[in-house]
Structure formats: structure tokens, C-alpha cells
Amino acid sequence: MQGPPTLRKFDFKAAIAWSLYDFANTGFAMVVLALIWPQMFHHVWGVGLDHQTESIVFKLTQALPCLVIFFLAPFLGQLAERGRFRAQALRFSVVIGAILTMMLSWVPAQEWFLSALLYAMAAVAFFSASTFYDSMIVDCAPIGRRHLLSGIAYASGFVAGFLILILLALGLFSGPDLRWIYLAAGLWWLIFSFPLLLFSFPRQEPAVRITWVSALQNTLATGKELWADARVRWFLCAYIFYIDGVHAVKTSAAHFGAVLGFGSSDLVKAFLVVQVIGIPAALAFGWLGSRWGAVRMIGVALLGYILLTLWGSQISPGNISLSGISFPSVWLIAGGVGLVQGGVQALSRSYFAELVPPGREIVYFGFYSMMGKFAAFLGPLLGAIAGWLFTNAGDETSTERAGFASFALLFFVGLILLFKTQRVKKLKP
């Protein structure tokens, strides 16, 4: 079933509303997925668990919502062809996710199961909203403008992360009051989402009424259609692996640092480095992707990730000197992540939007989200298995180090498959 025609004009108002959502959802992505929840799980809710059990429970908690979205995303993509459903589902996901995030403020110490349950449900809402949000890029910009717009959106997310970290550095949330940051994060996500939630995207409704049964039938048909397109097939195979690594690095970094013995202050400052460098880097990757090609720039980012994960797995608390300047070793890793994180995610989203057939972007983005969440499920699972296999009884950090190093394999395989996508594209008449 063919959808509406591809947008040919740049819609400035829609682009502003769309890109601001990256600013909004950073409230959840920074506080819950990346920085505060992983540390509090180690220091507050997971107290009493031995190191190996805590590490495995933590990674499985990260994996569970990704597995749920893996099964839901293709159906959501089919149902999202109805503009009204898409808008309502986005609003529902954001509101429910924000409420669940705020509820984390009231979880007592050592209640690791309740904390993990709220985390998992909020993450499902977050990832569901992202499925609809990513597909909306086709409503805001025509082909040729999407790399830059996607980069701008990710840059706005880095700006939000920078502001959140400044609030943390100022001590607005510290000590026993740190748990109230979840209340602030939920409100941040909800309030700054209003421009997108209230915006009316002019989207043509399909002629046939969509039901759950027809969505299942259309999902199977879309899967066959997608698999028949060699460029899309190879890109999604590559995407499964490398976005797995991106997600795993982002969500495990704070917990990894806490286990190694880095102080909360060092970790907050490290995340601040990521945001400061990530803002211009995301914009630069968007611009360079338009000039030199998205695949080439994604490849550069993946090479950077391979080096970062291998070296990062060996770091220890303490300072290093570079050009006569001394700073915590974790800051150098953070700077490298800031250079590549936003670029690889922004260009992947915009490149995929240009690969799919005109008018089929929304349902294809359901599969795009499915692949991303399947990868996000495998990443923590791989880290848990690697940590279990290579645990050293004499080193309490060995489980985390082995898991972090294993992510390099994901980037390497993704890089090989990514260039297969490029070769297929060049061979097409």
C-alpha cells in the first residue's frame, strides 16, 4: 500500500517542533538511561546484591524494554500510517513515560526490583514515542535537507544535556535530594514536548481502515518488501550491530564508571564533556554527511567507537596528562564519545529516510525502530555474557571491563556490513 507523497518543501515550523523533541526527551535519556539511574542502581537500589549479580541484573533490566519494543515496533509503524493514531500514540507514550519517570523519586533504598520495573516500563514508553518521532522527519524536510535537520535535532539534545549537567554541577540535586531529579526529568520531558504534541502534521489517511489484524498482515508484507531491497536490507543488518554498540556504551557508561571507582563528580563532568563536544560535532556530522555522504561519515564514527571501547575498558581512576594539562582519564573517553555519538545516530536516521521508497517512510521506520531495539536488547545481553565468561575472582571490576570491551565487536561487524550497503547502492542502475 503506497502512502502519501514525499514532502518536497521545508516546513520551518514543523522542523522546529520536531527538533525540539530531542531537547525534551533528553530529560529521560540523560537522567534515567545514561547518568543518574545507573549510578543510583549501584549505590542505592542495588545495595546488598553481590557485584556479579548486580551487573547481570542491571544489564537484563536494560535489555527487557528493548525486547518489548522489538515485537511492538513494526505494528506501531503500520498503525502510525493513520496520522491521528500516530499523534495520539505519541502523546500517550510521552505522558505515561513522564509519569513513570517521576514515580522513581519515591522508590525506597534497596528496592531494586521496583526501581527496575519502573525503569523498564518508562523505557518502553520512551522507545515507543521515538518510533513515531523518528518517522516524522519526512513531514518536516525534503530529501537533501534531512541530514542537517537530524543533526540539528541531536544537537538540541546535547544542549539539553549540557543544561541538565549544569544544574547537577550547581548542586540543585545532591545527596538525599538526588532522587527528586526524576520528578524534574519527567516534567522536563513533558513540558518541552508540548510543541510537538500539539502540532498538527498534515498527513494523508490511508484509504483502508487499519486494524490490529490488518496491521499484522501489512507488517509481514512490509517485511518481505524491505528484505527484497538490497540497500535497505544491508543497511538494517549493519544498523543492528553498530547501534547496539552505541546504545550499550551510552546506557552502561555511568554504571561502568561507578563500578571502576570514579566519583560522581568526575562522572557528571565527563557527561558534561560529552555534551559540550557533542553539540558542534552533531552539527558538523550533519553538514559533512550532506557533502561527503552519510555512509562515509558513519564509518568514521564507528572506527572511533572501536578505539574508544577497547581503550576505555582498560582505564582506571586517576589523572592523565595531555600537552601539559592534567585531567581525569574518563574525560578523554567522554570527549571521544561526544565527537561520534550524535553524528552516528543523526546520520543513521536521515540516511534511512532517504533509502526507503517515497511514501513508505512511516511503516519502514517501524522496522527501523524494531531493529534498533533488537540491537539494544542484544548489547546488554552480550555484555552480561562476556562479563560472566571472563570474570576474574581477583578483580571485582573484571565483569564490567569484559562487557565494555565486547562492544567493539559490534562496531566492527556493523562497519563491514555498512560498506556493503554502499557497494550495493553504487551497483544499482
Task: Please tell me the predicted confidence (pLDDT) of residue 425.
Answer: 47
Per-residue pLDDT of 297-344, as tens digits, reads 888 889 988 988 888 777 777 677 667 777 777 777 778 888 888 778
Instruction: Count the residues in the chain.
Output: 429
Of 337, 85, 71, which is closest to residue 209 (Cα–Cα)?
Answer: 85
Please state, in angstroms and rounded to a whole number, the distance separating the CA atoms of residues 288 and 290: 5
Task: Note whether residue 223 is domain-resident.
Answer: yes
What are residue 19's phi and psi, to 5 degrees? Answer: -70, -25
Domain count, the chain: 1
Task: Please tell me the predicted confidence (pLDDT) of residue 100.
Answer: 95
Q: At what angle do helices 146-169 and 329-355 cross, to 10 degrees?
A: 150
Please state, in angstroms and rounded to a whole number, the distance separating the CA atoms of residues 239 and 411: 9
Task: Note whether residue 5 is domain-resident.
Answer: no
Task: Note whether residue 421 is domain-resident.
Answer: yes
Task: Note whether residue 1 is domain-resident.
Answer: no
Task: Please tell me the predicted confidence (pLDDT) of residue 189.
Answer: 94
Task: Note whether residue 241 is domain-resident.
Answer: yes
Task: Please tell me the predicted confidence (pLDDT) of residue 118.
Answer: 94
Please state, in angstroms and rounded to a whole number, the distance separating the CA atoms of residues 104 and 183: 8
Q: What is the CA radius of gyration of the chain?
A: 21
Q: What is the pLDDT along the chain (429 residues), one digit of tens a residue?
A: 444 444 445 567 777 888 889 899 988 988 888 778 887 887 788 887 777 777 778 878 877 887 787 777 666 766 666 556 677 888 899 999 999 999 999 998 888 899 999 999 999 999 888 877 877 776 776 666 666 777 788 778 878 888 887 887 776 655 555 778 899 899 999 999 998 888 755 554 554 556 667 667 777 787 788 788 888 888 888 888 888 888 778 767 766 677 677 777 777 777 777 878 877 887 887 778 778 888 888 888 899 889 888 887 777 776 776 677 777 777 777 788 888 887 787 788 788 878 877 767 667 776 776 666 665 666 666 766 776 676 666 666 666 777 777 788 889 998 999 888 766 544 343
Task: Note whether residue 3 is domain-resident.
Answer: no
Please state, in angstroms and rounded to a whole number, the distance separating the CA atoms of residues 101 and 99: 5
Task: Please tell me the predicted confidence (pLDDT) of residue 186.
Answer: 93
Of 252, 280, 191, which is closest to residue 376 (Cα–Cα)?
Answer: 252
Write the CB contacts of 270 (distance below 8 Å, at least 6 apart in sequence): 257, 262, 328, 330, 331, 333, 334
pTM for the predicted model, two decimal places: 0.69
**Domain CATH code at residue 92:** 1.20.1250.20
Q: Which residues span the domain enclosing 87?
A: 12-427
Of 369, 372, 375, which is closest to residue 77 (Cα–Cα)?
Answer: 369
Residue 319 backbone zone (phi > 0: left; psi -120 to 50: alpha; other: beta): beta
Task: Note whether residue 133 is domain-resident.
Answer: yes
236 to 6, 21, 144, 384: CA distances (angstroms)? 21, 24, 21, 24
Task: Note whether residue 7 is domain-resident.
Answer: no
